[in-house]
Amino acid sequence: MKISLRIIQDLLDKSKKQRSELREAYALVPSSHCRRKALCCSLLPEMSLVEALAAIQCLSEMDPGIRFRLTGSLVQYFFLNSVRITSCPFLVDKNCLIYENRFFGCRAYGLWPRHYYNELATRSHQTKRYNQEQWQNLGISLPQEVVDFQVSYCPHVKPDVGSSVDDETLPHAADKIEILSKQLAPWHESFRHTYFLDLSFLLASLIFGLTEAVQMKFAFVKDYVKTGNQAGLSEIVGNLPDVFAALT
Ligand code: SF4
C-alpha cells in the first residue's frame, strides 16, 4: 500500500500520542557517553513508522534551506546506497541534524551486548547478500565492498550508570516502539513491507512515485556501476520539490 503526502499529514495528526510515548520509550535506553566519533552514522538506520513520522515532523519544522539540503541527501542516499558507502543523510559536518529525534538504532548503538550486536550485524549482512543476488538477476553486479560493509561494534560508548547494559533492556525498549508503531496500522505494515523501513525510499516515492522511484534507482545504479557517473542524479537533486514544507 502506497503512503501519500496526505496520508502522512493524517498520520502526523493522529499520532501525537504515539510520538509522545515514543520519547518515553527512548528514555528506556540508558543514557550514555561516547566520543562522538559518528562511526554509527555510516548508514541511515532502519526505523519504524512512528520514528519516521517523528523525523518527518522535525524536517517539516526546519529552516527551508537545511530541509532542501537534507531532502537532496536523502534522495541521493536512496538512489545510490547500493553502490556507494555514504554516511547517514542527517549527518552534516559530524553533527546529527535531528539529534534530539534520532532513531532507536542510533541510541542503542554501542550499548548492545557484543554478541547481540554481532547477531544483528550477521542478519543485516544476510539481507544485503540476498539483495545482491536480486540485483545480479537483473544483470547488475553490486560492488562487493558495499555489500560487505558493516558498521562495526563500537567499544567507545559506555552507559552513564554501570559498565554494561543487560540483555533485556534494549529489546524491551525496541518492543515498546514496535507496539506504538503498530497502533498506526495499516500504515505501520506498509512502511515495513513496501518501503523496507527506509525513510529515504519513502521520500523518493513521495517525490517521484513508488514505481518510478524504483525504476529510477535501477537506472542510476546501472549507470553508476558502468561509468561511475552520477551527473544526471546531481541535476535532479538540485531541482527537488520541498515536499515536507506543506505539512503542519
Ligand atoms: S540519525 Fe543522526 S545519530 Fe542516527 S545515524 Fe543519522 S546522523 Fe547518526
Determine the pLDDT at residue 181: 98
Report which residue type is found at 44: L
Name the one residue in this structure whose C-alpha cell is 512512528.
Answer: 50
145 CA distance to ligand 1 middle (Å): 22
Determine the pLDDT at residue 36: 61
In terms of Cβ atoms closer than 10 Å to its own Cβ (0-12, 13-18, 19+), residue 247 is middle
Mean pLDDT of the region 205-224: 97
| Residue 47, helix vs strand vs coil | coil
| Ligand 1 atom showing the smallest separation from residue 98 Cα | 2
Determine the pLDDT at residue 9: 97
Residue closest by Cα to atom 1 of ligand 1: 102
DSSP of 205-240, one letter per residue? HHHH-HHHHHHHHHHHHHHHHHH---HHHHHHHTT-
DSSP of 161-197, one letter per residue? SSSS--TTHHHHHHHHHHHHHHTTTTHHHHHHHTTTT
| Ligand 1 atom showing the smallest separation from residue 88 Cα | 6
* Percent of the chain whose predicted confidence (pLDDT) is above 70: 99
Mean pLDDT of the region 155-171: 83
138 CA distance to ligand 1 middle (Å): 32
Determine the pLDDT at residue 80: 96
106 C-beta closer than 6 A to ligand 1: yes
Determine the pLDDT at residue 35: 65
For 86-129, write each residue's pLDDT tens digit: 899 999 988 899 998 999 999 998 888 888 888 888 999 999 99
157 C-beta closer than 6 A to ligand 1: no
Query: Does residue 203 contact residue 243 with C-beta atoms inside 8 Å?
Result: yes
* Percent of the chain whose predicted confidence (pLDDT) is above 90: 73
77 C-beta closer than 6 A to ligand 1: no
For 11-21, write each residue's pLDDT tens digit: 999 999 999 99
Judged against a pLDDT cut of 90, whether residue 46 lies above it is answered with yes
Mean pLDDT of the region 200-224: 97
Determine the pLDDT at residue 206: 97
Query: Does residue 114 contact residue 153 with C-beta atoms inside 8 Å?
Result: yes
56 C-beta closer than 6 A to ligand 1: no
Mean pLDDT score of the chain: 93
Mean pLDDT of the region 159-169: 82
110 C-beta closer than 6 A to ligand 1: no
Residue closest by Cα to atom 8 of ligand 1: 41
Domain boundaries, the chain: 5-246
Judged against a pLDDT cut of 90, whether residue 178 lies above it is answered with yes
- Dist CA 11 CA 100 (whole Å): 21
Judged against a pLDDT cut of 90, whether residue 166 lies above it is answered with no
Cell of 196: 523496507
